[in-house]
Amino acid sequence: MARAVSRKARGPNRSRNVSDDITFRPLAADDIPQLHAWLNNPLVARWYGLGVENIPFPTLEQVETNYLPRVRGEKPTFCYLMLLGERAFGYVQAYRVGSYPDYAAVIDVNRDAWGIDIFIGEDDCRDRGLGTEALRLFIKRLVFTRPNVETVVIAPNPENTRAIRSYEKAGFEHLKTVWVEMENDYECVMVQRRDLRV
């Protein structure tokens, strides 16, 4: 997989846009300990767990079992670290919804739509607009550039109002709220269409 073009970390510069410094790098095996640490951060674990069961506070072994097959290209989910300059600050993944038939049946959207999951792992990178901008750039650079992708889906917990506001700012609109049996919880299904994106 191609490595992201990184830029040297820079000090504050009001003439620069934060988007100039956000890049994406494919998840590697060496990143698993960092991912494990983030998934055990209480601010992450409140809303983001491991796998479709949304397991909070996973062990390192569970994280390896879940993510290493993706790193090796054995699963149809594409995983990336989000970088600000050279520093990794969060995680984002994308997948064709139809590649997971059980989940696709639950959210009931076009199976050629692509789903996205995202979280910020570093506490000092919250409340700065980085998640919104990273999501917008990820869709522009790595999702809508794929052939025949017309719709992107993201599905936060309905109580995660901070995430929902962020996703709205990135161009998503609420479609419906569904009960996801495998997660034993509701999801707020939000969509962004190529012809409507901001």
- State how far the Cα of 179 lies from the Cα of 155, in Å rounded to an integer: 11
**pLDDT score recorded for residue 51:** 82
Per-residue pLDDT band at 197 (split at 50, 70, 90): very low
pLDDT at 2 over 70: no
- Assigned token pair, 111: 């199976």
**pLDDT score recorded for residue 16:** 65
Question: Which residue from 41, 46, 6 is spatially nearest to 185, judged by alpha carbons?
Answer: 46
Question: Which residue from 100, 66, 94 is spatially nearest to 82, judged by alpha carbons?
Answer: 94
Specify the pTM: 0.88
Question: Which residue from 197, 194, 192, 129 is spatially nearest to 166, judged by alpha carbons?
Answer: 129
Is 91 in contact with 82 (CB distance < 8 Å)?
Answer: yes
Per-residue pLDDT band at 196 (split at 50, 70, 90): low
Question: What domains are there in the chain, each with its CATH number?
Answer: 18-196 (3.40.630.30)
Per-residue pLDDT band at 198 (split at 50, 70, 90): very low
Per-residue pLDDT band at 98 (split at 50, 70, 90): very high
pLDDT for 3-40, tens place per residue? 443 444 444 444 567 788 999 999 999 999 999 999 99
Any idea which residue has 């962020």 for tokens?
166
pLDDT for 153-178, tens place per residue? 999 999 999 999 999 999 999 999 99
Q: 145: phi > 0 → left, psi -120 to 50 → alpha, else beta; which? A: alpha
